[in-house]
Amino acid sequence: MTNSEIKQILQTLGIQDSNPAYSTGLQWGDKATDKNTATRTIHSPIDGEVLATVRMATLADYETVMQKAQEAFATWRHVPAPKRGEIVRQIGDKLRKYKEPLGKLVTLEMGKILQEGLGEVQEMIDICDFAVGLSRQLYGLTMHSERPDHRMYEQYHPLGVIGIISAFNFPVAVWAWNSMLAAVCGDVCVWKPSEKVPLCAIACQHIVNEVLKENNLPEGIFNLIIGDYTIGEALSKDHRVPLVSATGSTRMGKKVGEVVGGRLGRSLLELGGNNAIIITPSANIEMAVRAAVFGAVGTCGQRCTSTRRLIVHDSLYENIKQRLVDIYKKLPIGNPLESGTLVGPLIDQEALKAFRNALEKAQKEGAKVFYGGEVLESEKYKGGAYVMPALVEARNEYEIVQDETFAPILYLIRYSGEVSEAISIQNNVKQGLSSSIFTNNMLEAEQFLAAWGSDCGIANVNIGTSGAEIGGAFGGEKETGGGRESGSDAWKAYMRRQTNTMNYGTSLPLAQGIKFDV
């Protein structure tokens, strides 16, 4: 893609001038709006080319954004929920209009293949549709009172300003999961995206601002602030932010959870995954192998739901191993904008270093890298962090297998007994996000889904660990953080619950039969 084509994509999405309304400035080349303000130059992971330079927000900028958000909340919470849903519907329509350029920008800035970039924007559209329906279904409950002439019920109210901290691997979808549900719930949001992918965030801010302007609503309903870790710390510490939704590493999530919990705020954490697929003797091998490959190499292994471990029964192990090698030999690796590419680059050199270090550590612990693991350095891959996805024979107890490496490394682990052994291996890690079993044995499937089966927030049968639909609640247990986003009743995280009792009689009876006559 030429520089002029890239510039056209950015300009189509409104990215061309500095805009202080976002507490971030964007300049072409090396210019900056203020020489005393830090900037970050954004390089495409595809070839290292400069896309733009972004001004990083200061804590003074943060305060400006927070004040604007609070003012907007005072207006937005009075808008009826179905009317809020109408605004989200219009945002979904705008995203349909901008799907192609925004999907290309996701690929340009993050490096996932174009089909995945477009799919991520479609996920935003889908969550908008879900939120529109939800805006008429923010249900409470009614209860029968033990007191005569009394009625009890529950209702849900907006929380206020929601802080959203998102990771680089899904530059736009995770923000939409949070912000669109928060919006129909009556909240406003302040979004701190990963500083590695700010352009996608700026594009989204332009899109929602178009809708707000067309409806004469304040821009502060959706707020964007681009900065370093100090902005995330400010969100976590701020008593004006009742909920902080943070997506990222377990290390980061522990810090956010500790700080937010210290002020008795709420945190919604979506953290690391160490996801496994179990393949049993009765499995459909073709389906299992396809799912394992997509889960392991899709997004170059940089999904929180990426398949990290493949737990295979002894009777199938050598067959599965050879099939994986045959497929990996043919993997189209390269420019993610080109048709036919299935594996793009890692996000940056830091990720490449983590990939190399993990493989070195695995071998020191006794693992065997039986295919892949090389860094690709020919002219075709110049400027990007391209690797050959690695297949590694290992044991579940190895320290490196217990950790999550955000890279395309698939550990193959044997089991020889009943399915309960495989489930035990799968559960024996610190993380608990996504899990999968391939089996045509109904009893094995039910054991996997039982209370004593998979301990993950997502448990799938005959599909892989990656590629969740927005209709179900998304999240995991243990060091994954326990948060739930997206579908089902995840909306409740963005609201405060209130129990109400209405006395429509003329006496004042007390609960539990207490007598207190004055």
Contact 390, 375 (CB under 8 A): no
φ, ψ for residue 40, nearest 5 deg: -130, 125
Angstrom distance (rounded) from CA 497 to CA 155: 6
The residue from 189, 200, 204, 304 that is catalytic is 304
Cα separation, 8 vs 36, in Å, equals 30
Q: How far apart (Å, rounded) are the C-alpha atoms in residues 117 and 172?
A: 10
Alpha helices in 135-188 (DSSP H): 173-184
Which is nearest to 474 in space by CA: 181, 185, 278, 260? 181
Do the strands 386-387 and 431-432 form a parallel or antiparallel pair, or are they unpaired?
unpaired
User: Which residue, among 95, 92, 86, has the nearest Cα to 136 in the 3D structure?
Assistant: 86
Residue matched to tokens 């396809």:
290
Distance CA 272, CA 251 (A): 9
How far apart are the C-alpha atoms of 437 and 454, rounded to whole Å? 10
Question: What distance in Å separates the CA atoms of residue 171 and residue 193, rounded to the nearest whole number?
Answer: 7
Is 204 considered catalytic here? no
Pairing label, strands 188-192, 161-165: parallel
Cα gap 35→280, rounded to integer Å? 61
Half-sphere exposure at residue 5, Cβ-oriented, CA atoms within 13 angstroms: 7
Q: Give the DSSP H/E element, type plus range, for residue 213.
A: helix 198-214
The closest alpha carbon to 120, from 272, 270, 298, belongs to: 298
Residues present in the chain in total: 518
> 366: which DSSP letter?
T
Residue with tokens 């302040």: 190
Is 128 assigned a catalytic role?
no
Cα–Cα distance for residue pair 205/97, rounded to 1 Å? 15
What is the greatest pairwise CA distance in the chain?
Answer: 90
Cβ neighbours of residue 443 closer than 8 Å, sequence gap 6 or more: none
CA-angle at 471, arms to 104 and 339, nearest 5°: 25
Q: Out of 109, 116, 195, 270, which one is annotated catalytic?
A: 270
Annotated active-site positions, please? 270, 304
